[in-house]
Amino acid sequence: MEQLLRNIFLFLSKNKGLTKLAKRYGLRFGASRFVAGETIDLATAVIKDLNEKNLDVTIDYLGEFVDHEEEANEMADNSIKAIEAIGRENLRSQLSLKMTSMGLDISDEIVLRNMRKILDAAKTNHVFVTIDMEDYSRCQKSIDIFKELRKDYDNVGTVIQAYLYRTVKDIEDLNQYHPNLRLVKGAYKESPQVAYPEKKDVDENFKTIIKMHLLNGNYTAVATHDDAMIDFTKQFVKENNIQNDQFEFQMLYGIRPERQLELVKEGYKMRVYVPYGTDWYGYFMRRLAERPANVAFVLKGIVKK
């Protein structure tokens, strides 16, 4: 049943018609638990509250299915506004973004132009930018563009997904850039031709790339809500005398907030991924797909209304 629900929500996440409908009717049906609001002002208030609790943040202006250059340019402008807000308000926040929202599916010229504008603004405001990884069909292209940008910018990182067979080779290949990487299990529905179908195999590969990236001496963001992975990381860094300033834990806004605060109290850096904007539907569907508890929460909220 759990796998069936996951497949349904992942399928719905790619529905362009429902995405447009969700934009029209705003953050309803429980989405506000996972999304900070539709504007940068609302998101800023959330970030300030998290910072006061000693939680760091990465903010993401949500957007998917960008098919036209004007939309991509608008998404880039909104990312720059977020960067400027971070600088202006002295927020402890980075920026995350999807390159499809910057024009990845339109042309390399458009996405590179928008990314350079964003990274220039980020450099001025001392903000680090992480390129989120998307589905497998865009993986290689995303990595190629990251490499191109890394030639000129040291304030950019990307994401590596443990459920892909190619992941270990990607870690080896990217090591020459000494990159700051966010390591995740992966949240898209992929073919068993390219991704491990079994959770146990994904977990083992996740442990492998955590060890590799840390031992390579690179900054490592372990993005997970899984206590087993958190405990594994804590034990591994202890056994290998890896300092706490070489890694951090990351979790999503609205998921396990108590555990986030516990990790801070234990002396670990904890970063919360805070999305905002009107294009929240695809992100929301993937959060429902990840954990049945999320579905239960939303249904409970709808019944109460």
Asked if 132 is an active-site residue, the reply is: yes
Residue 4: count of CB within 10 angstroms of its CB: 8
Catalytic, out of 6, 105, 150, 182: 182
Q: How far apart are CA 7 and CA 173, in angstroms?
A: 32
What 3 state SS string does the chain have?
A: CHHHHHHHHHHHHCCHHHHHHHHHHCCCCCHHHCCCCCCHHHHHHHHHHHHHCCCEEEEEECCCCCCCHHHHHHHHHHHHHHHHHHHHCCCCEEEEEEHHHHCCCCCHHHHHHHHHHHHHHHHHCCCCEEEECCCHHHHHHHHHHHHHHHCCCCCEEEEEECCECCHHHHHHHHHHHCCCEEEECCCCCCCCCCECCCHHHHHHHHHHHHHHHHHCCCCEEEECCCHHHHHHHHHHHHHCCCCHHHEEEEEECCCCHHHHHHHHHCCCCEEEEEEECCCCHHHHHHHHHHCHHHHHHHHHHHHHC
Dihedral pair phi/psi, residue 189, rounded to 5°: -85, 115
Q: How far apart are CA 64 and CA 101, in angstroms?
A: 6
Asked if 203 is an active-site residue, the reply is: no
Q: How far apart are CA 60 and CA 182, in angstroms?
A: 14
Catalytic, out of 132, 170, 203, 279: 132
Instruction: Give the active site residues.
Output: 132, 182
